[in-house]
Amino acid sequence: MFSRRSAIAGICTLAGLALPSAVVARAAPPKSWRLRPGDTVGLIASAMFSDDLFEVEQIKSTIAAMGLVPRVGRHVTARYGYLAGTDRQRAQDVNDMYADKDVRAVFAVHGGWGSARLLPFLDWNMIRANPKLLIGFSDITALHLAFAARAGFPTIHGPNAANRWEEASWNSFWKLAFAAETPLFRNPETQGLDPLLQERWRTSTIRPGKAVGTLIGGNLSVLASLVGTPWLPDFEKKILFLEDSGEAEYRIDRMMTQLGQAGILGKVAGIVFGQCTRCAIGIPDYSGFTVPQLLHQHLAPLGVPVFHGANIGHVSNQLSLPVGVRAEIDAEAGTIRILEPAVA
């Protein structure tokens, strides 16, 4: 197991030796500039609070190990109930980071709950005029989806700043954010691994085929909670990716039913359901549907390529995945091929 500082620092040393040549930005859609060693990046807390100053110092060390310079938002250590400050305070930190010309990307510190509450208070005209990568996952899905709908530039669904940045997470993030590459993502090979690891890394084809479209998605619970709000993008011909954690089977069923009856599932070109971590009701002798059975029930009839098990979500070595760029999925091979750079 890699420590987040040693793993990032080691790879970053190599990365700094040979960054690829610049990619010319296209007029539409706008893209953020790639990250380079020495760039200043913002730290925001759009959801749960972190009043542990030692943790904040650890997070700053993680960012520094990436070769970047952290700038902590004013309200990251504030507390308002279970939130990092009031809705307006948390929104102001986001607005400040996008208005600051010295800040080149924005990392969410934590997930939890609360990001959706600040969406009405964001300065969308200003954010749209200042494309910068937003990095985070879980509750940060609310920001990813709203950015896709209102800002129009790519973001990255990857570890929050306080999470462990293990090798696969860092490698995939570096390829997207620093190198402007278009990688092929797949789970590690399972041949020769012990049976438990083989099961963990195995992908399952729900409906075979290939599909091309713009990647959109994130946490299932957060996405479902935004149905009926003005913060969801158009899902027509998109590649939808989903993940979740700590949800019982009946709740997965309920949320997938909601997405289906809201017309979202019927619009997409393909679906990747990543990991559903600890998604079990925990009742002895439970005899209801399993999560894989539910996914087959809801997704197989759609008539589009679908696979399950990509290492996306609340798991170690989760992939950093771009939101808002075109990609191709191969449901039989269990792969996601990025077709355009996420940054310029």
**Tokens 């500082």 — which residue?**
5
Residues annotated as catalytic (active site), given as ranges: 138, 243, 314
Question: Which pLDDT tens digit goes with each residue over 15-46?
Answer: 443 333 333 333 456 899 999 999 999 999 99
Using a 10 angstrom Cβ sphere, with 0-12 exposed, 13-18 middle and 19 or more buried, the burial of residue 143 is buried
Question: 80 burial class (0-12, 13-18, 19+ CB within 10 angstroms)?
Answer: middle
* DSSP β-ladder status, 306-308 and 204-207: antiparallel
pLDDT of 152: 96
pLDDT at res. 29: 64
Q: Determine the pLDDT at residue 20.
A: 37
d(CA 233, CA 235): 6
Q: What is the DSSP letter of 77?
A: T
Q: Quote the pLDDT of residue 14.
A: 41
**What string of pLDDT tens digits covers the 344 residues of the chain?**
334 555 555 545 444 433 333 333 334 568 999 999 999 999 999 999 887 888 999 999 999 999 999 999 999 999 999 999 999 999 999 999 999 999 999 999 999 999 999 999 999 999 999 999 999 999 999 999 999 999 999 999 999 999 999 999 999 999 999 999 999 999 977 655 565 555 667 899 999 999 999 999 999 999 999 999 999 999 999 999 999 999 999 999 999 999 999 999 999 999 999 999 999 988 888 889 999 999 999 999 999 999 999 999 999 999 999 999 999 999 999 999 999 999 99
CB 238 within 8 A of CB 149: no
Yes or no: say if 330 and 321 are a contact pair by the CB < 8 Å rule: no
According to the model, what pLDDT value does residue 285 have? 83
Domains of the chain (ranges, CATH numbers): 4-178 (3.40.50.10740), 184-338 (3.50.30.60)
List pLDDT tens digits, range 203-237: 999 999 999 999 999 999 999 999 999 999 999 99
